[in-house]
Amino acid sequence: MTAVEPDEQAPSMAAGPAIRVGAPTERRNPLSVDLDLMSTREMLSVINEADRRVPGAVAAVLDEIAETVDLAVPALRGGHRVHYFGAGTSGRLGVLDVAELAPTFNSPRHWFCAHLAGGPDAMWQAVENVEDDDRAGAVEAAECVRSGDVVVGLAASGRTPYVLGALAASRAAGAATVLLCANPEAEAARSVDVFIGVDTGPEVITGSTRMKAGTAQKLVLNTFSTAVMVRLGRVYSNLMIDMVATNAKLRGRMISILVEATGCAEEICRRALDEADGDLKTALVSLVSGAEVSVARAALARSADQVRGALALLAS
């Protein structure tokens, strides 16, 4: 099997306009001055100490993340979509979050859509000037965003033109808009429905937003999309019940989840899963309620495939 590797071609240094950004991520961190003169262990300690700030910064914006979840859940239930628009590290993290949702939660692939400035090639290397093109973001949003959708802009500085262009076009189309950035004072905060400004401060390496800013964004996106999936019934208690068993490990995980959720013996869980044709939710509802598999399947169909709802129907 051939490994997927980044293109080795370096981005050119073509001349273009220069803009000095005043975001916190662009400021110099006094704690990492002379990082290149430190021992390896000292350097790692400085990076680790800086990283420790990130969970607290994310905790400070949980209310805003909750608002975003509460926008996305009814939107998805109503047949709409969630879009991520980003460039560079921010855009790549959006792609990663979307890529992990279907394998983890068996979510329909059209629910979440990631848009990366520069397209697929930008996953591996910088594509010249694409993040500075607000029109490109606006055009892309106009082509796919519809009224009722939720659009999340991802920009460490809070000012990336491609992202702001996409947000403006999305707002004009009737979508709810969210900006996630590492600049609590971003001017664009006034132009969106929800503003998530995570205060991660200056980076250990000045301007390297793949570090604290990127880590914070990964945590926020994980938190947001996971909470959305829980609210949409893709989790029972704290168990991952909406999964596709594509390998031996995942088939074994299904059995373990059934054992945990029902307290039944492994052999009983295996038999129930077989009778349900490998459908974990149907087997779970059948075992917990004591209903036949066909009855459990019908109850799930009547409750929008929600385990809690199906169990309530069978108990009434």
Q: Which two tokens stand for residue 196?
A: 């998530």
Count H helices and E strands in the chain, helices first.
Answer: 12, 7
DSSP helix/strand/coil, 239: strand
H-state helical runs in 232-303: 248-262, 266-275, 280-289, 293-302
Pick the catalytic residue from 64, 131, 140, 203.
131
Pick the catalytic residue from 100, 128, 187, 267.
100
Length of the chain: 316
Count the Cβ atoms, other than its own, within 10 Å of residue 14.
7
Q: At 85, phi and psi to the nearest 5? A: -120, 125
- CA quadruple 214, 218, 219, 223: dihedral sign: positive
100 is catalytic: yes
Q: In whole angstroms, what is the distance from residue 256 CA to residue 262 CA?
A: 10
Closest of 275, 225, 202, 254 to residue 21, by C-alpha:
202
Active site residue ranges: 100, 131
